């Protein structure tokens, strides 16, 4: 499963940082991995890419830039049970 801890907080700008500074409200790309070290390494790799390469990556899996997290929450913004990390 994906890490769900910050998706809602980022979307609603409850956390200071990049997403609130640049008004980011959509999740258009993500990669799932059970290994946090692998996730950090991949994030750093992608951060080093040119913007055009990042856009090509997004559009290879989500050409219409649809918010992938739209269906993850119930109406009260509680994370749907099937989207929670396994404990």
49-57: long-range contacts, CB 8 A cutoff, minimum separation 24: 57/29
Domain layout of the chain by residue ranges: 7-82
Q: What is the pLDDT of residues 3-39, one digit of tens each?
A: 555 676 766 677 777 777 888 888 899 998 889 999 9
Q: How confident is the model at residue 51 (pLDDT cuts 50, 70, 90)?
A: very high
Phi/psi at 52 (5° precision): -60, -35
CA atoms of 69 and 31, how far apart (whole Å): 13
Separation of alpha carbons 84 and 67, rounded Å: 18
Q: How confident is the model at residue 53 (pLDDT cuts 50, 70, 90)?
A: very high
- How confident is the model over 63-83, as pLDDT tens digits? 999 998 887 766 555 555 555
């Amino acid at each position: 499963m994906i890490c769900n801890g910050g998706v809602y907080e980022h979307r609603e700008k409850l956390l200071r940082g990049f997403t609130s500074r640049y008004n980011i409200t959509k999740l258009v790309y993500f990669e799932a991995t059970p290994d946090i070290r692998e996730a950090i390494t991949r994030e750093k790799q992608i951060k080093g890419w040119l913007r055009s390469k990042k856009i090509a990556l997004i559009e290879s899996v989500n050409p219409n830039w649809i918010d992938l997290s739209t269906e993850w929450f119930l109406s009260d913004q509680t994370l749907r049970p099937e989207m929670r990390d396994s404990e």
